[in-house]
Amino acid sequence: MTQLVASRNQTMVTEFLFSVFPSLYEGGLLFFILLILVYAFIISGNLVIFVAVQLDMALHTPMYFFISVLSFLEIWYTTATIPKMLSSLISEKTISLGGCLMQMYFFHSLGITEGCVLTAMSIDRYIAICYPLRYPTIMTSKLCLQLTAGSCFCGFLLVLPEIAWIATLPFCGSNKIHQIFCDFTPVLSLACTDTSLVVIVDTIHAVEILASFLVIALSYIRIIMVILGMPSAEGRHKAFSTCAAHLAVFLLFFGSVAVMYLRFSATYSVFWDTVIAVTFVILAPFLNPIIYSLRNKEMKDAIGRLFHQKRDARAQK
């Protein structure tokens, strides 16, 4: 039940209600089963990729290092939202104000970090293909760690002022969030005070997204130009294959995020808002392990060796 406290003639909201989830007997159980299977695949798929990269010496390269970091982030990115979605499908659909702020913080921090890591991956591919002779001296282990640390620093620092500001706002009246997780716009719409600063928030998000998008897009324009200029068809195919997975993840991730956060005053129906949210909260993390494993021979071989080692270890016991 929604908890309310009286303060200065206002009824202050301390819990929010997710209104878009069906009840248990209206399809909630079916969605719960589907979602828990998807979540299990996301966790196990990304965990296998992370472990395979860490244990297989053949994958100790900058490209696979960033893939392993991305897989690690995906585990926590989905854990920030999906467990609460699962509970909302079969039981309690409310979330406390503190829990809502925490969910927004970790979801957006991890999302921004992923965007930065994808940007670092595009820089890695740019140097590997455009400057292959200088690649080993530029993309050192130290630089990879610095780029990863910088991505985490940006991700977890940029969202803090926003969350701190929202935490100071009073919420009264309706407590219904018309979304599958706590997000800035649905939550700010419930504040009983002026939230015109949301325009600044949208602008900050737009700059963050566009900056990463431009770096990746320009990198791949240059990469494609270099690849097309290669005299060998085999060389072109190999170069394209190393970039295809990253490019697919980039388009899926930034495409859905751009539709959600670069719309400013444009509004969608609750249905389309939910569909877009499902795309980058559930669908993109679900497809990433498939893209990185099934379309990559080296990754498939490494995963195969990982499972063979486990099977051999059990046989020896």
Structural domain contains residue 6: no
CA separation for the pair 118, 255 (Å, rounded): 13
Contact 139, 62 (CB under 8 A): yes
Structural domain contains residue 133: yes
Q: Count CA atoms closer than 13 A to 109's CA, side-chain side.
A: 20
Q: What is the pLDDT of residues 181-209, one digit of tens each?
A: 999 888 988 888 877 766 676 677 777 77
Structural domain contains residue 5: no
> What's the chain's average pLDDT?
84
- All residues at 6 or more sequence positions from 202 whose CB lies less than 8 Å from its CB, including other chains: 261, 264
Structural domain contains residue 56: yes
Helix/strand/coil percent split, the chain, to 5: 75, 5, 20
Average pLDDT over residues 150-157: 92
The CATH number of whichever domain residue 309 belongs to comes to 1.20.1070.10
CA separation for the pair 88, 295 (Å, rounded): 35
> Global pTM?
0.87
Q: Is the pLDDT of residue 93 over 70?
A: yes
pLDDT attached to residue 308: 75
- What is the longest distance spanned by two Cα atoms in the chain? 76
More confident residue, 63 or 297: 63
Structural domain contains residue 152: yes
Total structural domains within the chain: 1
Q: Is the pLDDT of residue 52 over 70?
A: yes
Q: Is the pLDDT of residue 212 over 60?
A: yes
Structural domain contains residue 4: no
Domain of residue 54: give its range.
11-316
Structural domain contains residue 279: yes
pLDDT attached to residue 6: 42
